[in-house]
Chain A
Amino acid sequence: MSKKTTYWWNKWTGGAIVILLLVLTPIITILVKLFGSPGEHWSHIVSNLLPSYFANSMILLLGVGLFTFIIGVSMAWLVSIYEFPGRKYFEWLLILPLAFPSYMMSYSYVGILEYTGPLQAFLRNNFDIHIKGPIIDIMNMPGAIFILSISLFPYVYVICRASFMRQSSELQEAALLLGSSRMRVFRKIALPMARPAVAGGIALVGMEVLNDYGTVKYFGVDTFTSGIFRAWFSFGDINTAIHLSAILTLIVLLLIWLENFQRGSKGWTSGNSTSRPAIRIKPNNKSTRFIYSGLCLLVLLISFIFPLSQLFYWVSLTWRNVVDAEFGILIFRSFSLAIGSAIAIALLSIFLLYTVRISPLKWTKHIAKTASLGYAIPGAVIAVGIMIPMIEMDRLLIWLTSNQGGMIISGTLAILVLAYIVRFMAVGYNAIDAGFQKTGASVNEVARSLGSSPLRTLRKIDLPLIRNSIAAAILLAFVDILKELPLTLILRPFNYHTLATKAFDMATNEMIAESANASLVVVLTGVIPIILLNNVISRKRSES
Chain B
Amino acid sequence: MRNIIKFSLIAFSITLFFSCENTSNEKVVNVYTHRHYKADDQLFAKFTEETGIKINIVNASADELIQRLETEGKNSNADILITVDAGRLYRAQEKDLLQPIESKIIETNIPENFREKDGHWFGITYRARIIAYAKDRVDPTQIQNYEDLADSIWKDKVVIRSSENIYNQSLLASIILANGEDQAKDWASKVVENMARNPKGSDRDQVKAVASGEGDIAVVNTYYIGLMLNDENEEERKAGEKVGIIFPNQSNRGTHINISGIGVTKYAPHKENAIKLIEFLSGIEAQQTLANLNYEYPINPDASKASILKTWGDFKSDTVELYKLGEYNSKAVKIFDEVGWK
Query: Interface on A for B, CB 8 Å cutoff?
Result: 11, 15, 114-117, 120-121, 130-133, 139, 220, 233-234, 236, 317-318, 321, 340, 344, 347, 351, 403-407, 409, 412-414, 417, 455, 458-459, 493-495, 509-511, 513
Q: How many pairs, one residue from A and one from B, have CB atoms within 8 Å of each other in the complex? A: 101
Write out the residue numbers on chain A whose beta carbons fall within 8 Å of the beta carbon of B257.
none
Write out the residue numbers on chain A whose beta carbons fall within 8 Å of the beta carbon of B209.
115, 132-133
A133-B214 CB under 8 A given contacts A404-B73, A494-B60: yes
Q: Enumerate 19 A-B pairs (CB-CB under 8 Å) in ascending A order.
A: A116-B235, A120-B235, A132-B214, A133-B197, A133-B209, A133-B212, A233-B63, A233-B67, A344-B12, A406-B72, A406-B75, A406-B76, A414-B16, A417-B16, A494-B58, A494-B60, A495-B58, A509-B36, A511-B36
Q: Complex Cα distance A268/B101, Å?
A: 76
- CB pair A510–B60 under 8 Å, yes or no, is no
Number of interface residues of B (CB under 8 A): 48
Q: Complex Cα distance A350/B18, Å?
A: 28
Query: Interface on B for A, CB 8 Å cutoff?
Result: 1-2, 5, 9, 12-13, 16-21, 36, 38, 58-61, 63-64, 67-68, 71-76, 197, 200-205, 208-209, 211-214, 232-236, 238-239
A414-B17 CB under 8 A given contacts A139-B200, A236-B67: yes
CB-based nearest A residue for B162: A220
CB-based nearest B residue for A493: B19
Q: Complex Cα distance A375/B169, Å?
A: 40
Write out the residue numbers on chain B whose beta carbons fall within 8 Å of the beta carbon of A347.
5, 9
Write out the residue numbers on chain A whose beta carbons fall within 8 Å of the beta carbon of B75.
403-406
Write out the residue numbers on chain A whose beta carbons fall within 8 Å of the beta carbon of B67.
233, 236
CB-based nearest A residue for B36: A509
User: 7 nearest interchain CB pairs?
Assistant: A405-B75, A116-B235, A406-B72, A414-B16, A413-B16, A132-B213, A133-B214
Write out the residue numbers on chain A whose beta carbons fall within 8 Å of the beta carbon of B21.
495
Write out the residue numbers on chain A whose beta carbons fall within 8 Å of the beta carbon of B59.
495
A459-B73 CB under 8 A given contacts A121-B235, A234-B63: no
- CB pair A317–B60 under 8 Å, yes or no, is no
Q: Complex Cα distance A459/B208, Å?
A: 63
Q: Complex Cα distance A351/B13, Å?
A: 18
- CB pair B16–A412 under 8 Å, yes or no, is yes
Write out the residue numbers on chain B whose beta carbons fall within 8 Å of the beta carbon of A131.
212
Q: Complex Cα distance A126/B34, Å?
A: 41
Write out the residue numbers on chain A whose beta carbons fall within 8 Å of the beta carbon of B205.
114
- CB pair B236–A116 under 8 Å, yes or no, is yes
Least Cβ–Cβ distance between B36 and chain A, in angstroms: 7
Q: Complex Cα distance A406/B267, Å?
A: 12
- CB pair A412–B214 under 8 Å, yes or no, is no
- CB pair A455–B1 under 8 Å, yes or no, is yes
Write out the residue numbers on chain A whose beta carbons fall within 8 Å of the beta carbon of B18.
412
- CB pair B200–A318 under 8 Å, yes or no, is no
CB-based nearest B residue for A340: B12
Write out the residue numbers on chain A whose beta carbons fall within 8 Å of the beta carbon of B17.
409, 412, 414
- CB pair A117–B58 under 8 Å, yes or no, is no
- CB pair A510–B214 under 8 Å, yes or no, is no
Selected contact of B232 from candidates A318, A412, A414, CB within 8 Å: A318
CB-based nearest B residue for A409: B17
Write out the residue numbers on chain A whose beta carbons fall within 8 Å of the beta carbon of B208.
114-116
Q: Complex Cα distance A133/B215, Å?
A: 9
Write out the residue numbers on chain B whose beta carbons fall within 8 Å of the beta carbon of A116.
208, 233, 235-236, 238-239
- CB pair A321–B38 under 8 Å, yes or no, is yes
Main secondary structure of the interface of A (DSSP, over half): loop
Selected contact of A510 from candidates B58, B204, B235, B238, CB within 8 Å: B204
- CB pair B232–A317 under 8 Å, yes or no, is yes
Write out the residue numbers on chain B whose beta carbons fall within 8 Å of the beta carbon of A351.
2, 5
Q: Complex Cα distance A351/B6, Å?
A: 11
- CB pair A115–B239 under 8 Å, yes or no, is yes
- CB pair A494–B68 under 8 Å, yes or no, is yes
- CB pair A317–B212 under 8 Å, yes or no, is no
Apart from A132-B209, A495-B58, what 13 extra A-B contacts exist at CB < 8 Å? A11-B2, A115-B239, A116-B235, A117-B235, A121-B235, A133-B213, A317-B232, A406-B76, A409-B17, A455-B2, A495-B60, A509-B36, A510-B203
Write out the residue numbers on chain A whose beta carbons fall within 8 Å of the beta carbon of B232.
317-318, 513
| B9, B17, B71 pick with most chain A CB within 10 angstroms | B71
Least Cβ–Cβ distance between B79 and chain A, in angstroms: 15
CB-based nearest A residue for B76: A406
Q: Complex Cα distance A371/B233, Å?
A: 49
CB-based nearest A residue for B234: A121
Least Cβ–Cβ distance between B20 and chain A, in angstroms: 7
Q: Complex Cα distance A495/B57, Å?
A: 9
Write out the residue numbers on chain B whose beta carbons fall within 8 Å of the beta carbon of A407.
71-72
CB-based nearest B residue for A48: B337
Write out the residue numbers on chain A whose beta carbons fall within 8 Å of the beta carbon of B73.
404-406
| A403, A406, A459, A511 pick with most chain B CB within 10 angstroms | A406
CB-based nearest A residue for B56: A495
- CB pair B235–A404 under 8 Å, yes or no, is no
Q: Complex Cα distance A318/B236, Å?
A: 14
Least Cβ–Cβ distance between B95 and chain A, in angstroms: 11
Q: Complex Cα distance A494/B78, Å?
A: 12
Q: Complex Cα distance A406/B63, Å?
A: 18
Write out the residue numbers on chain A whose beta carbons fall within 8 Å of the beta carbon of B201.
139
Write out the residue numbers on chain A whose beta carbons fall within 8 Å of the beta carbon of B58.
494-495
Q: Complex Cα distance A513/B202, Å?
A: 14
Write out the residue numbers on chain A whose beta carbons fall within 8 Å of the beta carbon of B60.
494-495
Selected contact of B20 from candidates A344, A412, A510, CB within 8 Å: A412
- CB pair B1–A459 under 8 Å, yes or no, is yes
| A115, A233, A351, A458 pick with most chain B CB within 10 angstroms | A115
A414-B13 CB under 8 A given contacts A233-B64, A405-B72, A455-B2: yes
Selected contact of B200 from candidates A220, A405, A417, A493, CB within 8 Å: A220
Q: Complex Cα distance A344/B73, Å?
A: 34
Write out the residue numbers on chain B whose beta carbons fall within 8 Å of the beta carbon of A117.
235
Q: Complex Cα distance A412/B67, Å?
A: 16
CB-based nearest A residue for B14: A414
Least Cβ–Cβ distance between A447 and chain B, in angstroms: 14
Q: Complex Cα distance A15/B9, Å?
A: 14
CB-based nearest B residue for A219: B200
CB-based nearest B residue for A497: B59
Least Cβ–Cβ distance between B167 and chain A, in angstroms: 12
Write out the residue numbers on chain B whose beta carbons fall within 8 Å of the beta carbon of A236.
67
Q: Complex Cα distance A214/B67, Å?
A: 22
Q: Complex Cα distance A404/B36, Å?
A: 32
Least Cβ–Cβ distance between A82 and chain B, in angstroms: 43
